[in-house]
Amino acid sequence: MSPEETRARFAAARVARLATADAAGHPHLVPIAFAVDGDTIYSAVDAKPKRTRALRRLANVRANPAVSLLVDHWDEADWSRLWWARADGHGRVLDPDDPEARRAVDLLRERYPRQQAQGEVLAIAIERWSGWSPTP
Amino acid sequence: MSPEETRARFAAARVARLATADAAGHPHLVPIAFAVDGDTIYSAVDAKPKRTRALRRLANVRANPAVSLLVDHWDEADWSRLWWARADGHGRVLDPDDPEARRAVDLLRERYPRQQAQGEVLAIAIERWSGWSPTP
C-alpha cells in the first residue's frame, strides 16, 4: 500500500490502537477515537470513567514522544481481505486552552458526536504511513 | 474487569494487536493471530508474503522483551458496550524446532486452520491482565 492509500484507509477508520512507551521502553496500548488532519493525528480523552486522571499514555508521551498507531481490518471468512495501516510519529500533549487543542476537539466532535472530550489533547505528527494488504 | 474476566475475553478474540519496542524505546505495532495457554500467549508468523523475513517484532523482543497486547470491542451504535482487554508481559523468541514452539503451532492451527505458521514462534509470559468496560 502506498503512503497515500495507507493514510486514506487509516483516516476512514473509527477506532485505532495507540502504542506508547515509557522512558524505560515498556510499551503501553489503548484503543482510541481519533481524527486525521493532514499528517497529524489527534486524540482526546473522553469524559467516561477512567481508572485514573493521570493517563499513562500522556505520561509516556511526555517522557518518550515516539508513538505508533494501528488500524486493521480483520475478515474471518477471507484472509485475503485482511489489511492494516500503521502511522509512526512523535506525540505532543496539548493544553486544553491551546487553540490547536480546541480545533482538534472540534474535529473529534464532528467524527464522534457522542464523545465528550475533556482535558489535554494528544497531537501526533506522523513521519511514516505504512500499510499491508495481500493485493498491493 | 477482573483479571480472570479480562483473560477470558482476550482468549476468545480472533485478533489482537502486539506492541513491542526497540532498545531505544520506539514502539512498533502489528495485528496478530494468537492462542492463549494459561498465562502464555503464542503467536507465529504466517507464510503469506511479508516485506522482510527479519521481522521487526522479533528483533524488538530480542532487544527488549517488554510487550503489550490489546483486544478491543468497538460498538459504533452504543459506546456503553465498548470494552478492551490488555495483556502485559515479556516475550521470548522460540526456535521452530523447540517442542514448546511445535505445541504452540498446534494450538494456533486449531484456532486458525488457514494459517500456515512458519519459522520462529513468539511466546509471551503475561504478568498482568487488565481490562476496561463501562459496566464493571
pLDDT tens-place string over residues A22-38 = 999 999 999 999 999 99
Task: Check A66 against B25: CB less than 8 A apart.
Answer: yes
For the stretch B107-130, pLDDT in tens is: 999 999 888 778 899 999 999 999
* Chain A residues lying within 8 Å of B28, measured CB to CB: 19, 68
Residues with Cβ within 8 Å of A114's Cβ and at least 6 positions away in sequence, in order, are B79
C-alpha–C-alpha distance, residues A28 and B20, integer Å: 9
**How would residue A115 be classed by pLDDT, with cut points 50, 70 and 90?**
confident
Query: Grid coordinates in use for B7?
Result: 483473560
Count the helices and strands in chain B (H runs, E runs): 3, 7
Which of B9, B29, B76 would you mutate first to test chain A, the one with the most A CBs within 10 A?
B29
Give me the mean pLDDT over the A33-61 stretch: 84
- State the residue for C-alpha cell 513468539: B122
pLDDT value of position A65: 98
A15 vs A30: CA distance, rounded Å: 10
* Domain limits, chain B: 3-132
Secondary-structure breakdown of chain A: helix, strand, coil percentages, each rounded to the nearest 5: 25, 45, 30
Among A24, A27, A72, select the one facing B27 at the smallest CB separation: A27
pLDDT at A101: 96
Give the number of other Cβ atoms within 10 Å of residue B120's Cβ.
Answer: 18
- Give A46's contacts (C-beta < 8 A, 6+ positions apart): A33, A115, A116, A117, A118
For B108, the grid coordinates are 494456533
Residue A19 vs residues A71, A79, B55, B136: alpha-carbon distances, Å: 12, 25, 18, 24
Please, what CATH class does the domain formed by B3-132 belong to?
Answer: mainly beta
Considering only residues B74 and B4, tell me which one the structure prediction assigns the higher pLDDT.
Answer: B4
- Cell, residue A76: 474471518
Contact status of A54 with chain B (Cβ, < 8 Å): no
Helix residue ranges, H only, A18-130: 56-63, 99-111
Nearest CA of chain A to the CA of B99: how many Å? 28
Q: Is A5 on the interface with B (CB under 8 A)?
A: no
Q: Is the pLDDT of residue B3 over 60?
A: yes
Of the pLDDT bands very low, low, confident and very high (cuts 50, 70, 90), residue A1 is confident
DSSP B116: -
Kindly list the distances between the CA atom of residue B4 and the CA atoms of A75, A113, B40, B82, B128, in Å, as whole numbers in the listed order: 27, 34, 14, 18, 11
Give dist(CA B99, CA A103) in Å, integer: 55
Cα atoms in the 13 Å half-sphere on the side-chain side of B39: 11
Which three cell numbers mark A131? 500499510
pLDDT at position A45 over 60: yes
Q: Which secondary structure element, helix H or strand E, spans residue A66, and what is its range?
A: strand A66-73
* CB B105, CB B117: distance < 8 Å: yes
Residue B17 contacts A, CB cutoff 8 Å: yes
Distance from CA of A97 to the nearest CA of B (A): 27
Share of chain B above pLDDT 90, in %: 74
Phi-psi label, residue A25: left if phi above 0, alpha if psi -120 to 50, beta otherwise: left
In the DSSP assignment, the letter for residue B50 is -
In Å, what is the CA distance from B14 to each residue of A121, B3, B21, B31, B111? 31, 19, 23, 10, 8
B24 and chain A in contact, CB less than 8 A: yes
Nearest CA-CA distance, residue A84 and chain B, Å: 8
Whole-prediction pTM: 0.92
Give the residue, A133 or A136, on which the prediction is more confident: A133
